[in-house]
Chain A
Amino acid sequence: MALLAELTHRCPLQCAYCSNPLDLERASAELETEEWLRVLRESADLGCMQVHFSGGEPTARRDLDALVEGANQAGLYTNLITSGVLLDEARIARLVRAGLQHVQLSFQDSQADNANRIAGFAGHAKKLETAAQIRAAGLPLTANFVVHRQNLDRLDLMIDLALKIGAERSEIAHVQYYGWALKNRAAFMPTREQLERATATVEAARARLEGVMVIDYVVPDYYAKRPKACMGGWGRRFLNVTPSGKVLPCHAAESITGLAFENVRDRPLAEIWDSSDAFNRFRGTDWMPEPCRSCARAEIDWGGCRCQAFALIGDAARTDPACALSPDHAVVVEAAAAESSSPAGDFTYRNFAPRALRS
């Protein structure tokens, strides 16, 4: 089991496909250090083996070293998911001493100009420096690339970049359309041809780089036949704690209106995991409608993504429309076809005070 600890929603970057909710939590609402340390211990007791420190930008929390140390003492394997723009050599050294095991560093493109435009922040050059410092500190490095129609044609250059900075692993993830990304979907939806070229590029690179760099590839489910098994199944092996302490079965779950999420300030984590309505609502297979209920893949796909069903058809208890067997599948097919074939248009930067900027 794994814990995604979203330490803060503060972030210097403004990526318009951010996975955070549209309604960002303010710094004043964030959990205190002691509260996070308790959450980390409770998550280890509950059976979590790994913690992913994320955000927003987790390094914006000055107590990150203490949290990494606390996680380590609790027996958790520690990952840091960061943009890297606030890190320096001294900070990395402190994190290593605290017991950090791995860094996932995001890049918005292989080219600085477009990367900085997508991020709404001139951080690409700094990220390259940070990558070198992470490797010099002996930490394993994953290069993360979120890909979409505005950078996908440079996928081979992104893979080259990952190699050049000494990444042992790269994660190439097509934008998943929730929250900010759903709002900006028309600006990012790739064409089917772009997607097919990208998939071929990944397959060729995997063959060429076997034993040199692992490439994980997250496909865009708008073009898939079967849905992704979101979080490996609702409430099965993943939990997310938001900056203010709300406990979610997935990072986008708050987009489902009508679900109430409990807070670690009010109740121990194990009780929330075991008995809260939000975790039990879609746990297992009893909640499933057809065609999921009688599907041979019921315990492989787990019905796909609840947030996507809610966002696209207004009912979180229906089959994920990304599945070709869903009666609502046309919604996804039509959106992908229409939006990928029209001009990319504007997108809205992810910000505490959203504003539209021209792409």
Chain B
Amino acid sequence: MNTRSFAEPFSRPRLAPHRRLQFDKMRDIWTVQAPERAFVLDETAHAIVSRCNGEAKIETIVDDLCRAYEGAPRDAVAADVLKLVQEFLDKGVMTL
């Protein structure tokens, strides 16, 4: 994190090292566990984060989400993905 990273359609985001996706069975929610904090993922956020494997480009992830959630307008999906990835980059949860 020495310089700020920016999410672009061709970026390949993934969870930063030592962050992990983990299901909270008591609260029945998906979370990302990170240093001294946990981020709660709603269904949309989980759908996005679980596809960020460091290989898929953001534009590919958007295509995949549009297929999975039929009828979702592509522009809106793309905006959601870019926004969430940027937020997680800024919080050190994700890396490119």
Residue of A nearest to B20 (CB): A77
User: How far does the alpha carbon of A101 sit from the alpha carbon of B38 in the complex, in Å?
Assistant: 13
User: How far does the alpha carbon of A352 sit from the alpha carbon of B17 in the complex, in Å?
Assistant: 39
A185 within 8 A of B: no
- Other-chain contact of A142, B16, B33, B36, B90 (Cβ < 8 Å): B36
User: How far does the alpha carbon of A49 sit from the alpha carbon of B31 in the complex, in Å?
Assistant: 10
Residues in chain A near residue B36, CB distance under 8 A: 50, 52, 79, 102, 104, 142
Residues in chain B near residue A46, CB distance under 8 A: 26
Contacts across chains A and B counted by CB atoms under 8 Å: 62
How many chain A residues have a CB neighbour from B under 8 Å? Answer: 24
Cβ contacts B1-45/A at 8 Å (1 or 0 each): 111110000000000111010101111000101111010000000
- Other-chain contact of A169, B4, B18, B92 (Cβ < 8 Å): B92
Contact of B38 with A211 in the complex, beta carbons under 8 Å: no
Residues in chain A near residue B83, CB distance under 8 A: none
Q: Give the dominant DSSP class at B's interface.
A: loop
Cβ contacts A199-216/B at 8 Å (1 or 0 each): 000000000001111100
Question: What's the minimum C-beta distance from A106 to chain B, rounded to whole angstroms?
Answer: 13
Question: What's the minimum C-beta distance from A133 to chain B, rounded to whole angstroms?
Answer: 16
A345 within 8 A of B: no
Q: Give the dominant DSSP class at A's interface.
A: loop
CB within 8 Å for A49 and B92 given contacts A138-B17, A142-B35, A211-B1: no
Contact of B4 with A212 in the complex, beta carbons under 8 Å: yes
- Other-chain contact of B33, A50, A104, A139 (Cβ < 8 Å): A50
Residues of A126-150 contacting chain B, CB below 8 A: 138-140, 142
User: How far does the alpha carbon of A47 sit from the alpha carbon of B27 in the complex, in Å?
Assistant: 8
A30 within 8 A of B: no
A168 within 8 A of B: yes
Residue of A nearest to B93 (CB): A214
Contact of A212 with B2 in the complex, beta carbons under 8 Å: yes
User: How far does the alpha carbon of A52 sit from the alpha carbon of B92 in the complex, in Å?
Assistant: 19
Question: What's the minimum C-beta distance from A125 to chain B, rounded to whole angstroms?
Answer: 24
Residues in chain A near residue B92, CB distance under 8 A: 140, 168-169, 214
Contact of B22 with A77 in the complex, beta carbons under 8 Å: yes
Contact of B4 with A211 in the complex, beta carbons under 8 Å: yes
Residues in chain A near residue B2, CB distance under 8 A: 166, 212
Can you report 18 A-B residue pairs in the complex whose CB atoms are below 8 A from each other?
A: A46-B26, A47-B26, A49-B22, A50-B38, A52-B36, A75-B22, A77-B33, A79-B35, A79-B36, A104-B36, A140-B18, A140-B92, A142-B36, A168-B92, A169-B92, A211-B4, A211-B5, A211-B90
